[in-house]
Structure 1
Amino acid sequence: MKVVIIGAGMAGLTVGIALKKFGHDVSIYEQTQQILPVGAAISLWSNGVKCMNYLGLTDKIQRIGGQMDNLAYVDGHTGDTLTAFSLDPLVKAVGQKPYPVSRAELQNLLMDEFGREHIHLGKRMTALSQQGDHVHVEFADGTQLQTPLLIGADGTHSMTRAYVLGEKVNRRYAGYVNWNGLVDASSDVAPLNQWTTFVGDGKRVSVMPVADHRFYFFFDVPLPIGLENDRTNYQANLKDYFQGWCPQVQHLIDHIDATTTNRVEIHDIEPFLTFYKGAVVILGDAAHSTTPDIGQGGCQAMEDAIYLARALQVNTLGLEDALERYQNKRNERTKTMVLRARKRSEVTHMHDPIVTQQWYESLKKEEGPHIMQGIINNIVGNVLD
């Protein structure tokens, strides 16, 4: 079957690779002239890695993945460790190591695997409609096409979603700003094989190891929406927001490269359960845009991709039947993840100071099982369990 995918991000590329492996004729149309990763890195938890394994990418993911053996929370002001523990029990429970990876390297890996010659750049979709048993698509450059199946992987601002739902859905500001990027790994900040998060005042500073002796870093600060975004002030801003924090955090701020650092106002979208209309279906951020607070945004997009490809392969009662089965399998799980991430965001970023302070206190007593069980609950129930 001919399949057209709108969007060449992780969701679009993953579903494209899966569909091609099942013999479909797949093309991707991307509105930008150059594909750039959204964000510096991604915490690819075990369910996401399993999706990559399913596509035959095990060795390639391991090569770009960071060695993350341990997890720790640290008091941001004093630098004292609140809790630290090995992730081995988690790995044994779910059957796969997690791999923090550079988004650019993951994007390039997926584009190479899909085939760059089948990715059409500078194609901004302006209209789509169902015409008989085909979907008609128009692009800003005047080109048009018809396809038996259109997959919308066009992200949080998805035009395909508006078509499927019959209305535009507004994004919800989560109340905090995130700065993220890559930096040379340094034991002056944290152990090189550990996911370390400094917490205090409803703020977070976190580093995760990725390949080639680098840390993926992010800073979270609760702030009003719409503040000035001047890249030349990033380090000064962070110095101000984290004034008085421990030497490890100050060292990290001193060594980031503002020219490659991203600043993002974090949003999500109220969950909904309709993922298709006729022969148009959505996945990834188009279907369930979430905050990054439990590290499941990219992983859920990958799960969508694998299940959609499998639904189209193993169900033979027609296209709409397969799309409905995909929708009904994925919508409740992804809704749960959006709401779980939202709840975690509210605790972490001090929507209620009492609740957040109680969380800080609980970390001092944490030995690992409670936090790991929370992560395991996000991983299990995936399409490859």
Structure 2
Amino acid sequence: MKIVIIGAGMAGLTAGIALKKFGHEVAIYEQTEKILPVGAAISLWSNGVKCMNYLGLTEQIKRLGGQMNDLAYIDGHSGDTMTAFSLAPLVKEVGQKPYPVSRAELQNMLMDEFGREDIHLGKRMTQLIQQDDSVQVKFADGTEISTPLLIGADGTHSITRTYVLGEQVSRRYAGYVNWNGLVKASNNVAPLEQWTTFVGEGKRVSVMPVADNRFYFFFDVPLSVGLENNRNTYKSDLKGYFEGWCPQVQYLIDQMDEQTTNRVEIHDIEPFLKFYKGSVVILGDAAHSTTPDIGQGGCQAMEDAVYLARSLQVNTLGIEDALQRYQDKRNERTKEMVLRARKRCDVTHMKDDAVTQAWYDSLKKEKGQHIMQGIINNIVGNVLD
């Protein structure tokens, strides 16, 4: 079957690879002239890695992934360790190591695996119309295409979602701003194979190891939405927000490159359960835009892609039947992930001072089991369990 995907991000590329493996003829249309990753890196938890394994990309992901063997929380002011433990029990429980990876490197790998010749850039969709057994798509450059199945992987600002739902939904500001990037890994910040998070005042500073001796870093600060965004003041801004924090955090700020650092106001979208209309279906952020607080956004997009491809392959009562089964399998799980991330966001970023302080206090008593069980709960129940 000929299939068109709108959007060449992680969701669209993963779906394209999966569908090609089942013999479909797939083309991806992307509105930008040049594909650039959104964010510096992504934490691929074990369920996301299993999706990559399923698509035959095991070795590619291992090469891109950092060795994240341990986890620690550090008091951001004193630099004292609140809790630290090995992730080995988690890996044994779920059967796969997690891999933090550079977004740019992951996206390039996925484009190579899909086939760049089938990715059409500079194609901004302006209209889609269902006509009998096909979907007509119009682009801003005046071109038109027709396809039996249209997959919307066009992100948090999805046009396809508006078509499926019959209305445009609003994004919800989660209450904090995130700065993220890549730096050379250094023991002056944290152990090289450890996911380390400094916490205090509802703020977070975190580093994860990625390939080639680098740390993926991010800073979270609860702030009002719509503040000035001046790349040239990122370091001084963060020095102000984290004044009095421990030397490790100050060293990290000094090492970051303002010109390659991203600043993002974090939003999500209220969960909904309708993922398709006729022969048009959505996945990834178009279907369930979430905050990054449990690291499941990309992983859920990959689960979507694998299950959608499998549903189209094994169900033979027609496209809409397969899309209905995909929707019914995925919508409740992704809704739960959005709400879990929102709840974790509120605790981490001090929506309620007492709740966040209670969490800080609990970290000092944590041996690892509670935190790992929370992560395991996000991983299990995926399409490949």
Instruction: Classify the TM-score, shorter chain.
Output: over 0.9
Question: What SS does structure 2 have at the residue aligned with 1:187?
Answer: coil
Question: What SS does structure 2 have at the residue aligned with 1:4?
Answer: strand
Aligned to 2:4: 4
Letter in 2 for 1:35: I
Shift of 1:258: 0.4
Matches within 5 A, 1:65-144: 65-144=65-144
Report Cα offsets for 1:232-277 as digits up to 9, x if no partner.
0000000000000000000000000000000000000000000000
Shift of 1:98: 0.1
Letter in 2 for 1:38: V
Aligned to 1:193: 193
Aligned to 2:17: 17
Shift of 1:22: 0.3
CA distance in 2, matches of 1:366, 1:139: 54
Aligned to 1:266: 266
CA distance in 2, matches of 1:184, 1:227: 29
Question: What SS does structure 1 have at the residue aligned with 2:287?
Answer: helix
TM-score normalised per structure 1: 1.00
Aligned to 2:312: 312
Letter in 1 for 2:124: R
Shift of 1:230: 0.2
CA distance in 1, matches of 2:80, 2:53: 38
Report Cα offsets for 1:271-330 as digits up to 9, x if no partner.
000000000000000000000000000000000000000000000111100000000000
Shift of 1:171: 0.2
CA distance in 1, matches of 2:313, 2:131: 24
Shift of 1:20: 0.2
CA distance in 1, matches of 2:176, 2:193: 28
CA distance in 2, matches of 1:211, 1:361: 33
Q: Root-mean-square deviation (CA), in Å?
A: 0.2
TM-score normalised per structure 2: 1.00
Letter in 2 for 1:122: G
Structure 1 outlier segments of 4+, above 4 Å:
none
Is it true that 1:145 corresponds to 2:145 in the alignment?
A: yes
Q: Any unmatched runs of 5+ in structure 1?
A: none
Aligned to 2:173: 173
Shift of 1:18: 0.2
Shift of 1:142: 0.1
Shift of 1:174: 0.1
Matches within 5 A, 1:1-385: 1-385=1-385
Report Cα offsets for 1:338-373 as digits up to 9, x if no partner.
000000000000000000000000000000000000
Letter in 2 for 1:121: L
Shift of 1:158: 0.0
Percent identity between the two aligned chains: 82
Report Cα offsets for 1:40-93 as digits up to 9, x if no partner.
000000000000000000001000100000000000000000000000000000
Report Cα offsets for 1:132-162 as digits up to 9, x if no partner.
1100000000000000000000000000000
Question: What SS does structure 2 have at the residue aligned with 1:82?
Answer: strand
Letter in 2 for 1:332: E
Question: What SS does structure 2 have at the residue aligned with 1:345?
Answer: helix
CA distance in 2, matches of 1:221, 1:352: 15
CA distance in 1, matches of 2:378, 2:268: 18
Q: Any unmatched runs of 5+ in structure 2?
A: none
Shift of 1:3: 0.1
Question: What SS does structure 2 have at the residue aligned with 1:288?
Answer: coil
Shift of 1:179: 0.1
